[in-house]
């Protein structure tokens, strides 16, 4: 057996790249902190039924299941941190009645990859805002997402925006059952018009025509005016179009905007505005988010919520290069005498490397050497 082999779609991150990833993560968390978002660290495992609802088949497929020998209950290895953060807001921070802003950064594990180039161990970074239902919260999250990507060097961003409320409003008005609704949802995401027509053959007008119109409602903000003539006047449709127009009014000029009324990709918990960031040279979205009001209900408190997340592993190839700082060499035989001086240098942020083998400056990545000069220690160039 080749014990060094890793499972498919799982990979190590080596020193230079790990430094890039950790630096990018730190800069994002600092951005979140200065924007008022508090860091939380949910556990990697918890009870399966806290991670996945029975309705969310897509997330269930991704989630590894484990048997807990302590409780006898089934555990899940988290595939998405957002439900965990919703649990924290609803239960552990239930004394907070106003707006709560939380952020996180950690690994999740997928039983199968999202795509051919995706990892089964994404490094998920994200931010969530609870307690305010207004469009201003969604706009705050969108701007935070765009800033997070720009500060690590992503250029030419495009924002695709959709609204789950349009689909849900049409489903309810048309009286679609759960099974047909799920099929239509899947086909709309694929923009498979021929299959969509077959599925809707028995659906009454004007809802059949409205579902068929959704894949054509794609493009600039002019799409929103077109949607008002193609979709029935339902409360959910009117609210969705109003919120999409608010996004257009607020973000035009800041980022390239694209409206896609079949932009429904996400998980079962999303229920309102949805958005994804794209850039030239990337086949898939770089970050994704949306509104998921009342997910916390099953944890004891229903609250408005919106947020976004991204996978830092997906961004490795463009993360800023961070050269490792040159260190200070210390010959191993001098270490017993230099303990206090080494501690002092390291406390100042210097990298001190003990040389056991008499290695070169290049091998140790050092440009100075700590040497004894009488009773004192000196730093001299090391070549």
Taking the CA of residue 180 as centre, how many other CA atoms within 13 Å lie in the half-sphere pointing to its CB?
Answer: 17
Query: What pLDDT was estimated at residue 267?
Result: 57
Looking at residue 283, its pLDDT comes to 83
When pLDDT is averaged across residues 129-149 and rounded to a whole number, the result is: 97
**Res 28: pLDDT:** 97
Cα dist from 83 to 28, 32, 51, 172, 292, whole Å: 21, 19, 6, 25, 10
What pLDDT, in 10s, does the model give residues 9-55? 999 999 889 999 999 999 999 999 999 999 999 999 999 999 987 77
Q: Residue 263 in 3-state DSSP?
A: coil
* pLDDT score recorded for residue 232: 94
For residue 276, list its beta bridge partners: 160, 288
CA atoms within 13 A on the CB side of 290: 25
Q: Which of 47-51, 99-103, 259-263, 327-331 has the lowest mean pLDDT?
A: 259-263
Contact 84, 52 (CB under 8 A): no
pLDDT tens per residue, range 212-269: 999 899 999 999 999 999 999 999 999 999 999 999 999 999 999 999 988 766 556 7
Q: According to the model, what pLDDT value does residue 117 have?
A: 79
Q: What angle do CA 206, 211, 212 make, to 5 degrees?
A: 100
pTM: 0.90
């Amino acid at each position: 057996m080749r014990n060094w082999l890793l499972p498919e779609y799982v990979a190590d991150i080596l020193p230079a790249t790990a430094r890039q990833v950790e630096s990018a993560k730190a800069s994002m968390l600092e951005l979140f902190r200065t924007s008022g978002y508090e860091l939380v660290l949910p556990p990697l495992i918890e009870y399966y039924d806290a991670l996945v609802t029975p309705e969310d088949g897509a997330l269930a497929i991704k989630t590894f299941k484990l048997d807990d020998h302590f409780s006898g209950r089934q555990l899940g290895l988290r595939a998405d941190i957002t439900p965990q953060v919703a649990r924290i807001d609803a239960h552990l921070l239930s004394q907070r009645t106003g707006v709560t802003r939380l952020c996180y950064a950690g690994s999740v594990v997928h039983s199968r990859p999202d795509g051919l180039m995706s990892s089964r161990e994404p490094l998920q970074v994200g931010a969530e805002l609870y307690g305010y239902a207004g469009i201003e919260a969604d706009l705050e999250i969108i701007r935070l997402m765009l800033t997070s990507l720009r500060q690590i060097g992503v250029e030419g961003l495009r924002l695709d925006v959709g609204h789950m409320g349009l689909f849900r409003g049409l489903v309810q008005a048309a009286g679609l059952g759960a099974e047909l609704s799920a099929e239509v949802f899947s086909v709309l995401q694929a923009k498979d018009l021929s299959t969509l027509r077959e599925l809707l053959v028995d659906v009454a007008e004007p809802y059949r025509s409205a579902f068929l119109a959704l894949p054509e409602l794609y493009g600039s903000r002019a799409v929103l005016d077109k949607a008002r003539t193609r979709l029935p006047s339902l409360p959910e449709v009117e609210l969705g179009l109003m919120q999409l127009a608010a996004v257009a009014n607020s973000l035009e000029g800041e980022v390239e905007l694209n409206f896609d009324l079949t932009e429904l990709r996400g998980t079962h918990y999303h229920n309102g505005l949805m958005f994804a960031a794209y850039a030239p040279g990337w086949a898939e979205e770089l970050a994704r988010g949306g509104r998921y009001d009342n997910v916390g209900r099953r944890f004891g408190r229903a609250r408005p919520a919106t947020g976004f997340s991204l996978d830092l592993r997906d961004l490795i190839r463009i993360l800023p290069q961070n050269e490792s700082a040159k260190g200070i060499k210390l010959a191993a035989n001098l270490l017993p005498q230099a303990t206090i001086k080494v501690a002092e240098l390291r406390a100042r942020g210097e990298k001190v490397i003990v040389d056991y083998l008499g290695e070169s400056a290049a091998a140790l990545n050092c440009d100075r050497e700590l040497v004894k000069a009488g009773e004192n220690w000196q730093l001299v160039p090391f070549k």
